[in-house]
Structure 1
Amino acid sequence: MDEQPSLLSRASAEVVDLHRFFVDWFNAASADNADFRRFERVMGEGFCMVAPDGQVLDRDAVFDHIRASRATSEDDFSISIEDIRAGWQAGDTIVVCYIEAQQRGGKHSRRRSSAVFTTSSSRPTASNGDICMKPGCRCLKAEQAQDINESRVTKGEQQ
């Protein structure tokens, strides 16, 4: 009997695969191989992101920023994902927490990130079956924002 992978394993695979897309998209040598529709398919309607400076960006602003950043690195950009774990899970929704380590131009950075995922039968073309980013915030670096969003999830608030 084929058993479907756990929600954590599917969300973890999506985090890793999405960051591979970013590396391809940002590196000039591989940007032509990156399909922006792959990114659009997994970002749920109502998606927002808390940027490292604490600014909340809606879905369109994130899309505009990613589009504008295409091929902006000369093959010196890399991302590795570390320490993926479930921060919270209920039913078909999970908060995945992880460390995103980047290297660009000889500089290294690490940021604590979290993302809210849900299963979605309306997104059958997503790279990992039917998992997509849930409306709400994907938090990058700003740990206060991460704490706020995890608190919202704990309290059961829907965004």
Structure 2
Amino acid sequence: MEISLLSRASAEVVDLHRFFVDWFDRRRADTTDFARFEHVMGEGFSMIPPSGQWLDRDAVLDHVRASRATFDGDFAISIEDIRPGWGTGDVIVLTYIEAQRHAGKQSRRRSSAVFTTNSSAPNGVEWQHLHETWLQMPED
């Protein structure tokens, strides 16, 4: 039985955020493969972070690459409330809440992500666009 596009995209959201936790952690960064991240970012990927900037694929890859091992075991992400939005046979929009904890401080953002199918990607989908909005800004 084929796994639904919703299930594959939902798994990708969770798995990619696990990658981020490992990549940003000093203790686990050396055993985390950046190619996994690079592979699931579609060639035309773009992102609008909560700041409102528009970032292309290269800017996002460069930022994540440069942020390797920046935390010391004090970073966690949980994904909540994944919901399907619009979709067709090969494209789906998901919304979800990303809750982060760093050094005892919390933030939350609602994200909308567009995925397309890609049979060579770990979960069978790749990211095409991501738009994030603050629900709770990082505490000072």
**Structure 1 CA distance for aligned equivalents of residues 72 and 118 of structure 2:** 36
Q: Distance in 2 between matches of 1:77 and 1:127?
A: 24
Aligned to 2:127: 133
**Residue number among 44, 47, 61 corresponding to 1:46 in the alignment:** 44
Aligned-partner Cα distance in 2 for 1:16–1:120? 17
Is the contact between residue 108 and residue 134 of structure 2 (CA under 8 Å) also seen in structure 1?
A: no
* Number of matched pairs: 135
**Aligned-residue CA RMSD (Å):** 1.2
The residue correspondences of 1:32-43 to structure 2 (distance < 5 A) are 32-43=30-41
DSSP 3-state at the match of 1:55:
coil
5 Å-filtered alignment, 1:146-157, equals: none
Match runs of 1:4-19 below 5 Å:
4-19=2-17
Please give the secondary structure, in 2, of the residue aligned with 1:38: helix
Tell whether 2:117 aligns with 1:119: yes
Richer in helix (by share): 1
The structure 1 segments of at least 4 consecutive aligned residues displaced by more than 6 Å after TM superposition are: none
Aligned AA (1:98): Y
Percent same amino acid among aligned pairs?
A: 65
Distance in 2 of aligned mates of 1:142 and 1:55: 13
Structure 2 gaps of 5+ residues are 136-140
TM-score (norm 1): 0.82
Q: Deviations over 1:95-137 (max 9, x none)?
A: 010000000011011100111001124xx1x211x21112xx3
C-alpha separation in 2, matches of 1:64 and 1:142: 23
Query: Residue 156 of structure 1 corresponds to which residue in structure 2?
Result: none
Corresponding residue to 2:63 among 55, 58, 65: 65
Which blocks of at least 5 consecutive residues in structure 1 are unaligned?
Answer: 144-159
